[in-house]
Amino acid sequence: MKKVLIFLADGFEEIEGLTPADLLRRGGLEVTTVSIMGRRTVTGRSRIPVEADCLFETCRIDEADALVLPGGMPGVTYLSEHQGLAEALKEAAKKGKLVCAICAGPTVLGGLGLLKGQKATCYPGCESGLTGADLSTDEVVESGSFITSRGAGTAIPFSLKIIERLTDRGNSARVAQSIVFCDRVDS
């Protein structure tokens, strides 16, 4: 079973952290939420407390197949300032592991120089943080070993793309169908 770590910090966007946790688990992936705050309870942007599965200091990051960063402020600031997480992201990228980020989360990757030469997207207005990336306004962008997405409204397609990448398209479609997620129709 593929292992996915979702990193949480105070101020994270709850939809962007918990939607992937929920949907990836539905897709049969082993998901662990990881607090970088030195305590298991992390409070999201909307002041919703969430109990992380483990602390960064005790988590086996090297065993993960994918790392996921949600957006939300000041959560992204905490993520970008965490030296241990920076090293883990660089090591994962070096090994070709899947690295995923949504909303302002891709700016953490941009700040580390990981998106140079990659196509990427982010929350509107955060584009300057995607240093060296080929910018896109697509809701979800897959480029090399990176998946990026735009924000809370794209959390479901972001999650489904991660499932597809780590398992297969059929499993992703099964999860989409199980939550009654249908293609949106332009009005």
Residues with Cβ within 8 Å of 92's Cβ and at least 6 positions away in sequence, in order, are 61, 64, 67, 98, 99
What are the pLDDT digits (tens) for 123-172?
Answer: 999 999 999 999 999 999 999 999 999 999 999 999 999 999 999 999 99
Q: Is residue 76 part of a domain?
A: yes
Model confidence at 186, in pLDDT bands (50, 70, 90)? Answer: very low
The active-site residue out of 103, 122, 126, 182 is: 103
> 186 lies in a domain?
no
Q: Is residue 184 part of a domain?
A: no
Give the tens place of pLDDT for each residue, 72-99: 999 999 999 999 999 999 999 999 999 9
pTM of the model: 0.96
User: Closest Cα partner for 104 from 149, 155, 163?
Assistant: 149
Per the structure, how many domains does the chain have?
A: 1
Residue 183: inside a domain, yes or no?
no
Residue 136 lies in a domain: yes
| Residue 100 is a catalytic residue | no
Instruction: Give the end-to-end CA distance of the chain in Å, rounded to a whole number.
Output: 40
CATH number assigned to the domain comprising residue 94: 3.40.50.880
Q: Quick check: is 187 in a domain?
A: no
Q: Is 53 inside any structural domain? A: yes
Q: Does residue 185 lie in a domain region?
A: no
Q: What's the domain range around 109?
A: 3-178
- The answer to whether residues 103 and 152 touch, using CB atoms and an 8 Å cutoff, is yes
